[in-house]
Structure 1
């Protein structure tokens, strides 16, 4: 399944020109799609995440060349508060501002609760939840100084509902929504908004690998895997795309979304409408 990337780059779409955006976990998948959308709208981009150095360098150069923005990369470890602090400090030193923060970094592990590895619990909570606390607390002073800020937390449909065998992920994503609400309340009069985006299944290379793996494991077709396994709970029976999430992130970053704060916005094809 291939979903083409279509990005608007006209001058009229560069509503974020002059802004600086940091997207954690943005070397692939959802984070990269959001980073590209913000860059297409004129924002300078700070990428962060894992990957091969050469490939990350090419991604950074492609964003800078394609969209005519500054693009940099931080290898900050999202499990370490000191590493996160260094990333925020370096961004502010380099750009003098940080207008848009997208907390997207995340990992997953599936296991029964009584068999869930303690080290995996700790790692998931650190990356999926605590990292967003650290980035948020560190960017707020700069946002307050400028009288403008947009914090977008990538939660999940699992921030609104539960599923078996995903204790750490579900707990972290519920926590992200709580953190979103508190941040919104504390910054409501300061030109800063904070919202959570709650995707269902999104088509990414990782999901593509899951499709092939499940098809082989269960001896069923790819279409059956998509419809009856992965999208069993999504009424619209289609994946969301990284471009859809990118477009929502751009909107939430603009003045048009100034009154949207503290919200958990499902992008799940009706999953949480059940």
Structure 2
């Protein structure tokens, strides 16, 4: 029997790679994204690639509880209860902390922490009923070691790491695991938008490559394999862990 996985922010970048990996592994997949057309297009491409129809794209603004709940209800109506939740959605702009304001803080917190927490709160009861579940929060190495120009984002990702560990403790006996995966610098549209197209952005990009022992930025597919593993039965005894996928940039032991 196929399990249903939700991937938020799954229309492109890391999220799309994760959605493709989970579908390839035999799961039904619902891509939730604020860009409805992109989510549906990505779902169609994945369906064509894996030869399965049970991949759908649904519009959802994770920062808005009503939008998130509407999307979840639609997904459950079409594909059944959720077994795997990948909180992948993220948003930020690189700015010094004193350049930011309360409106910016609110948006960063809503997208990167509060929204994922709210969606998880709605999904866990389904997992409890099934006595099986996988929660995978895409955090960031910024939440482990900090990142200049990303003060509030780093705080949110650190919060998601703590959230993941607490869920792991609370729901372990129900056969629900909860882990955080931390990408290092990854070549995605989000990173490119943050850096911009100017000379300064290019210097930062090249500096990141030099700092990584493998001398390249991560690719979305580098994250997808780890998420696919954690979402499956072979990872049933792994919970409460924070795993960096960073080409060796961070080596926490």
Fold in common (TM above 0.5):
yes
Q: In terms of mean alpha carbon deviation, does 163-172 or 99-108 score higher?
A: 163-172
Within the alignment, does 1:273 sit opposite 2:251 as a pair? Answer: yes
Q: CA deviation at 1:120?
A: 1.1
Q: CA deviation at 1:86?
A: 1.9
CA contact (8 A) 2:83 2:127 kept: yes
Match of 1:5 in 2: none
Total equivalences in the alignment: 251
Match of 1:24 in 2: 8
Q: CA deviation at 1:91?
A: 1.9
- Structure 1 pair 90/199, CA: closer, same or farther in 2 (3 Å)? same
Match of 1:133 in 2: 117
- Structure 1 pair 135/212, CA: closer, same or farther in 2 (3 Å)? closer
* Cα deviation 1:186-207 (Å, max 9, x = unaligned): 1111111010000101122444
Gap runs ≥5 in structure 1: 1-16
Map of 1:67-78 to 2, 5 A cutoff? 67=50, 68-78=52-62
**2:30 maps to which of 46, 60, 65:** 46
Larger radius of gyration: 1
- Structure 1 pair 168/211, CA: closer, same or farther in 2 (3 Å)? closer
RMSD of aligned Cα (Å): 2.1
Match of 1:191 in 2: 175
Map of 1:146-225 to 2, 5 A cutoff? 146-207=130-191, 213-214=197-198, 216-217=199-200
* Cα deviation 1:16-58 (Å, max 9, x = unaligned): x6011100001110001100111111111111113362x4433
CA contact (8 A) 1:63 1:69 kept: no
* Cα deviation 1:234-266 (Å, max 9, x = unaligned): 222222221121111110011110011111101
Gap runs ≥5 in structure 2: none
